[in-house]
Amino acid sequence: MTNGETLWIKQARHGDDEAFGSLVEAYQKPVFNLCYRMLGNANDAEDAAQESFIRAYRHLRRYDPKRSFATWLLSIASHYCIDCLRRKQLPTMSTAVIPEETVPDTAAPNPERKIFSIEKQAEIQTLLERINPTDRAAIIFRYWYDYSEVEIAEALSLSVSAVKSRLFRARRELAKLWLSSQPSNGVKERRPHESPAL
Amino acid sequence: MSHQPYEKWLLSEEVISQQDKESLKIHLQECKSCQDLHYAWQAVEQEFAINAQVEPQSGFDQRWEIRLEKTRETRRQKRITVSIGITLGFSLLATWSILLADLTNFSLSSFLGNLFATLGQFVSRIIHILRGVESLFRAFPLAIPISAAIGVSLMAVVTLLLAFWTASLFKIYQPKQGVILK
Ligand SMILES: [Zn+2]
């Protein structure tokens, strides 16, 4: 967190709306990305991200400045998305269409590579949407935000051991879903010595 | 065949000993299920490594500003509706209490008659008290400035309370200023 952000938080806590607006501007991307990964489409993600900021604005006095503001904000967003998914009972599989302009152009001017990247993203999104919402949030925090198990526990209000078992369960499920989506000989192309774990 | 603890070693971030690594390697050569799980998870993890961040469409902060204003307006409307609801509820309750108090003998003319009689009694009591105070002042002229001081103080307190009440109501129902974003 930068000094500017610390100051904005302090000012926003004293009712400075302009300072909170600066925080919205600074954190819109990570919050939106989390909501998108959780909900699987841009419209729901926009709505959830907006609502998360409204909740953060209303409960800003509850924020403990000793903790990370990003974690606090992402915690609000993830809880909101989990609630949405439970309430709406959204379908576990979607078409996972990613608007082209929202996918970052990763040092690849080649349009074929970009299409490949979009396809990969859609594949990942389809896999994510098929696992339990809280497990999904744990995976997103681990792989998109590089959070440790302790940080995930803090963000999702879980114990560290619960996070460990959720991550294990999610990885197992994702691997099995990936296997079932591959052609039968797709797995045999690799050899055991390729594994970095060994 | 049992796949534990091998599945756990493959899918958790625990650091395993050299001996466990050897044991895992042997198990992977024998067990097709763990082999598949291992390669599948590696493939998924590779896709996660792309780690692409999806961004909102431009103007997110402006849309948030509008949404905050709408939320405030909705909450204000809700507060007004609740206040009106409570007032109406109490009024209805009071009316029903009066009506139900003597429903068997209720008639509009006697109800109005009683109401006027009660009001008349109240006014005559006030006049009676005022006359008593007046006669007291006549008997003890020194009491006048002391009573005046107490009266003025009481009026000041009541005025202040009224002002505070009005200000509170104004603050509750006045919408907050909109967010100005950079
Ligand atoms: Zn096995």
Question: Would you list the DSSP string of chain A?
Answer: --HHHHHHHHHHHTT-HHHHHHHHHHHHHHHHHHHHHHH-SHHHHHHHHHHHHHHHHHTGGG--TTS-HHHHHHHHHHHHHHHHHHHHT--S-------GGGS---S---HHHHHHHHHHHHHHHHHHTTS-HHHHHHHHHHHHS---HHHHHHHHT--HHHHHHHHHHHHHHHHHHHHHHS-TTSGGGS-GGG-TT-
Domain end residue (candidates: B35, B50, B65): B50
- Please check whether residue A87 touches B, CB under 8 A: no
In a domain, B76, yes or no: no
- Please check whether residue A181 touches B, CB under 8 A: no
In a domain, B65, yes or no: no
User: Among residues of chain A, what percentage have pLDDT more than 70?
Assistant: 77
Better pLDDT: A46 or B169: A46
User: Among residues of chain A, what percentage have pLDDT more than 90?
Assistant: 62
Radius of gyration (C-alpha) of chain A in whole angstroms: 19
pLDDT score recorded for residue B47: 87
Closest CA to B40 of A198, A48, A184, A14: A184
**pLDDT tens track for A119-153:** 777 888 889 999 999 999 999 999 999 999 999 99
- Please check whether residue A166 touches B, CB under 8 A: no
- DSSP character for B12? S
Closest CA to A60 of A1, A8, A3: A8
Question: Would you list the DSSP string of A10-60?
Answer: HHHHTT-HHHHHHHHHHHHHHHHHHHHHHH-SHHHHHHHHHHHHHHHHHTG
Q: Which two tokens stand for residue A121?
A: 């993203």
**pLDDT tens track for B95-106:** 877 766 666 666
Closest CA to A42 of A32, A52, A31, A50: A32
pLDDT score recorded for residue B136: 80
Q: Which domains does chain A have, with CATH numbers?
A: 1-94 (1.10.1740.10), 130-198 (1.10.10.10)
Interatomic CA distance for residues B8 and A186, integer angstroms: 24
In a domain, B182, yes or no: no
pLDDT value at A92 more than 60:
no
In a domain, B164, yes or no: yes
pLDDT value at A105 more than 50:
no
- Band (A195; pLDDT cuts 50, 70, 90): very low
In a domain, B79, yes or no: no
pLDDT value at A193 more than 50:
no
ipTM comes to 0.76
Answer yes or no: do B61 and A21 touch at CB < 8 A.
Answer: yes
For chain B, positions 30-59, list CB contacts with chain A under 8 A. Answer: 35-45, 47-57
Domain end residue (candidates: B50, B69, B85): B50
**pLDDT tens track for A77-91:** 999 999 999 988 654
Classify A15 in phi/psi space as left (phi over 0), alpha (psi -120 to 50) or beta: left
Better pLDDT: B121 or A106: B121
In a domain, B93, yes or no: no
Interatomic CA distance for residues A129 and B51, integer angstroms: 16
Q: How far is A50 from chain B (nearest CA, A)?
A: 6
pLDDT value at A97 more than 90:
no
pLDDT score recorded for residue B176: 46
Residues in chain B: 182
The mean pLDDT value of chain B amounts to 84
pLDDT score recorded for residue A88: 80
pTM: 0.69
List Cβ neighbours of A51 (8 Å cut-off, separation of 6 or more). Answer: A80
Using CB atoms within 10 Å of the CB of residue B76, give its burial: 0 to 12 exposed, 13 to 18 middle, 19+ buried: middle
User: Most A CBs within 10 Å: which of B15, B23, B50, B55, as the mutation test of the A interface?
Assistant: B55
pLDDT score recorded for residue B144: 72
Q: Which two tokens stand for residue B13?
A: 């971030």
The mean pLDDT value of chain A amounts to 83
Domain end residue (candidates: B50, B66, B81): B50
Range of the domain at B123: 118-176
Whole-number Å distance, alpha carbon A174 to ligand 1 midpoint, is 17
Interatomic CA distance for residues A140 and A137, integer angstroms: 5
In a domain, B100, yes or no: no
**pLDDT tens track for A55-70:** 999 999 999 989 999 9
Specify the number of domains making up chain B: 2
- Please check whether residue A187 touches B, CB under 8 A: yes
In a domain, B108, yes or no: no
Least confident of A28-32, A71-75, B170-174: B170-174
Span between the terminal Cα atoms of chain B, in Å:
63
- Please check whether residue A54 touches B, CB under 8 A: yes
Are B64 and A24 a contacting pair, CB within 8 Å? yes
Phi, psi (5° rounding) for residue A27? -110, 5
Residue of A nearest to B62 (CA): A21
pLDDT value at A103 more than 70:
no
Residues of chain B with pLDDT under 70: 1, 51, 99-106, 171-182
